[in-house]
Amino acid sequence: MANFTPVSAAIGGALIGLSAVLLMLSTGRIAGISGIFSGLLNLRGEDKGWRIAFLAGLMLAPVIAGWIGHGMATPALPANWAVIVAAGLLVGFGTRLGGGCTSGHGICGVARLSPRSVAATAIFMVVAIVTVAVTRHVLGG
């Protein structure tokens, strides 16, 4: 557990929870990033303003962090482009089919004590753990 960072994890987690609560209280919306983003991908015009504003804020965070000297490191991704594309397609299709991701089901849904979200969260956690176990320890990636 050499990489365990409980203090920053607790502060960051509390901010994520606070954001979800504030979005619900202010605009009545669930802070589910897959749902917020996918709502921008159709051509119908309604209901886009708050989505664009939320995602703009999300992307502004690393920019502001950079201004105050805490620039974000470029995320480390697999060298294999096919893996990146396959993962993106699975995340996109899967979150639409399952109706949410780590934020919508994992934080908001679980906090609302939704059985659907608890089930979804348990499934994607276990499947992701198995996927990492297979790619890292069975296939030895």
Partner 1 sequence: MWIIAPLLCGLVFGAGLLISGMVQPTKVLGFLDIFGAWDPSLLVVMVAALAVSVPGFMLADRSARPWFGGQYFRPGKSGIDLPLVTGAAMFGVGWGLVGLCPGPALESLATLSPGIIVFVVAMAAGMMAHDAWQQSRLTAQRSRELASAADG
Burial pattern 35-51, b for ≥16 Cβ within 10 A else e, equals: bbbebeeeeeeeeeeeb
Tally of CB atoms within 10 A around 104? 24
Question: Binding of partner 1 at residue 27 (CB under 8 A)?
Answer: yes
Question: Binding of partner 1 at residue 18 (CB under 8 A)?
Answer: yes
Least Å distance, CB 41 to partner 1, is: 6
- Among 88, 108, 86, smallest CA distance to 35 is for 108
Q: What is the distance between the alpha carbons of residues 72 and 40, in angstroms, rounded to a whole number?
A: 26
Which of 16, 44, 46, 140 touches partner 1 (CB under 8 A)?
16
Least Å distance, CB 45 to partner 1, is: 16
Of 96-115, binders to partner 1 (CB under 8 A) are 96-115
The contact mask relative to partner 1 for 39-78 (x = CB under 8 A, - = no) is --xx------xxx-xxxxxxxxxxxxx----x-xxxxxxx
